[in-house]
Amino acid sequence: MDPIRSRGYRNRNPGNIEHNPRNAWNGLASPASDGRFCRFVSHEHGIRALALLLLTYQDRHGLRTINAIIHRWAPTTENATDRYVGRVARHMRQAADAEIDMQDPRVMRLLVEAIIIVELGGQPYDDATLSEGLRMAGLPQPGAARSGTIRAAAAAGATAVGGAMSVETAAMLAGQVASHGGAVVDVVRALGPWVVALLVVVVVGWLAFDRWQRLRRVTAPEAA
């Protein structure tokens, strides 16, 4: 089955979470259900709900093995639960009765991916969509965490320089630097906020010079 044609994908609800009016999920669409399952405004919101519901299994109900988690997620009354458990365990490369920690973003990602594959009949989402959904659930992925740290540090550094630019501007500029690779980000994080402040000043100067050059090319008369 093509996962994009599945009911869960159309509902932007890759976990096929059943609608319950008492659960006011963030990002519910209007109408909130298709008659049985939740409908979300984006796939990221659906992935977020999937991850948050799994976290309650661990935190509220004490379920810490794939076997226990999937037996609650997909009960035997309407599912081939043992087969479901086997597929998830193989995807995660874990024994079905081994304890897992869903607070670990890497573990949660594998579990969410496995459930999506079973529920939708395949994996239709790219890395960015999965990462954003998990970030929205409070589980930032490693790459996203680095970018967030550099933006926050840059904003603080800009304020320390003298408040000449807004926090939003500093964050935007630092984001441009961060996009060039994790290695740069790691170095800057290690060197501290004053180096970040200096970096922001350099970036501002470079952007101003680049803008001036572009305006000059636009306004200069064409050669004969």
Query: What is the tens place of the pLDDT at every residue in 39-61?
Result: 999 999 999 999 999 999 999 99
d(CA 196, CA 192): 7
For residue 221, say if its preceding peptide bond is cis, omega within 30 degrees of 0: no
Percent of the chain predicted with pLDDT > 70? 64
Mean pLDDT of 88-111: 97
pTM, 2 dp: 0.65
d(CA 203, CA 189): 17
For 191-214, how does the pLDDT look when each residue is reduced to its tens digit (9 = 90+)? 555 665 676 667 667 666 655 554
Interacting residues of 120 by C-beta distance below 8 A, sequence separation 6+: 3, 6, 8, 9, 14
For 117-142, how does the pLDDT look when each residue is reduced to its tens digit (9 = 90+)? 999 999 999 999 999 999 999 998 77
For 4-33, how does the pLDDT look when each residue is reduced to its tens digit (9 = 90+)? 999 999 999 999 999 999 999 999 999 999
- Mean pLDDT for the chain overall: 79
Note the pLDDT of residue 196: 59
Residue 143 buriedness (CB in 10 A; 0-12 / 13-18 / 19+) = middle
Mean pLDDT of 60-80: 96
Between CA 93 and CA 99, with CA 96 as vertex, the angle to 5 degrees is: 90
- Please, are residues 141 and 123 in contact by the beta-carbon 8 Å criterion? no
d(CA 89, CA 96): 6
Read off the pLDDT band of 181 (50, 70, 90): very low
Note the pLDDT of residue 142: 73
Note the pLDDT of residue 141: 77
Helices marked H in the chain — which ranges? 7-10, 43-59, 66-73, 81-92, 105-120, 127-136, 142-161, 167-178, 182-191, 193-219
Mean pLDDT of 90-107: 96
- Please, are residues 69 and 57 in contact by the beta-carbon 8 Å criterion? yes
